[in-house]
């Protein structure tokens, strides 16, 4: 049951944020852009991810575009406290072993279950929250590809994980 419950809108344009002029039509000047940056990944991807007392994310697949600014909001829709049913969102670099990472995270209670010695494995992460709370992070979508995300609260990753797809 993957794609059914997408709630986020790509290219959302909350009126409060700075309006981005989509490159006003420029006559092709002389200098061709050196090393053209990734093709116009404009706008912000607003992603809302919910996790409840049932130890599940509502999204097991999240799609964004390369270079896009990702605004991810994690809501804990349950009632249980963070020390019993804490949730977070951790986006891992490619090639990281989930099981090994989760094991390291288990030992990182003092750091919100974010293993300090594995910083290189982490692209982005939220803090760990309890029922009724939300937290938000903003990061830049990495290079095209498929990445894993998980909740690193002990024991959760087996059920709380998904694919973060950058197109
Ligand atoms: Cu969790």
DSSP letter at 5 equals: G
pLDDT digits (tens, 9 = 90+) for 9-18: 444 444 444 4
What pLDDT is recorded for position 43? 82
Q: Using 50, 70 and 90 to split pLDDT, how confident is the model at 7?
A: very low
Q: Where are the domains of the chain?
A: 43-162
Question: How far, in Å, is the centroid of ligand 1 from the Cα of 86?
Answer: 5
First to last CA, the chain: 21
Q: Could you give the CA distance from residue 52 to residue 58 in angstroms, rounded to a whole number?
A: 9
Instruction: State residue 154's pLDDT score.
Output: 97
- Measured in Å, residue 106 CA sits from the centre of ligand 1 at 12
CA 39 / ligand 1 centre spacing (Å): 35
Ion ligand 1 neighbours, Cβ < 5 Å: 87, 151, 153, 156, 160
- Euclidean distance between CA atoms 153 and 100, whole angstroms: 14
pLDDT tens digits for 97-142?
999 999 999 999 999 999 999 999 999 999 999 999 999 999 999 9
Count of alpha carbons within 13 angstroms of residue 58, beta-carbon side: 18
- The mean per-residue pLDDT over the stretch 137-154 comes to 98
CATH number at 43-162: 2.60.40.420
Q: What is the mean pLDDT of residues 8-35?
A: 47
Residue 29 Cα to ligand 1 middle (Å): 52
Ligand 1 center from residue 153 Cα (angstroms): 5
* For the chain, percent of residues with pLDDT exceeding 70: 75
Report how far ligand 1's centroid is from the alpha carbon of 43 (Å).
29
């Amino acid at each position: 049951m993957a794609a059914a419950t997408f709630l986020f809108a790509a290219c959302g344009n909350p009126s409060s944020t700075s309006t981005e002029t989509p490159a006003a039509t420029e006559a092709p000047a002389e200098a061709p852009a050196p090393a053209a940056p990734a093709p116009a990944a404009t706008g912000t991807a607003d992603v809302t991810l919910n996790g409840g007392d049932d130890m599940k994310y509502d999204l097991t697949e999240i799609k964004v575009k390369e270079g896009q600014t990702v605004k991810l909001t994690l809501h804990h829709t349950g009632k249980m406290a963070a020390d019993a049913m804490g949730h977070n969102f951790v986006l891992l670099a490619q090639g990281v072993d989930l099981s090994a990472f989760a094991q390291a995270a288990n030992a990182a209670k003092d750091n919100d279950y974010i293993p300090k010695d594995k910083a290189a494995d982490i692209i982005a992460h939220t803090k760990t929250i309890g029922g009724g709370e939300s937290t938000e992070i903003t990061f830049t979508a990495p290079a095209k590809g498929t990445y894993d995300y998980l909740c690193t609260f002990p024991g959760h990753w087996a059920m709380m994980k998904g694919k973060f797809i950058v197109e």
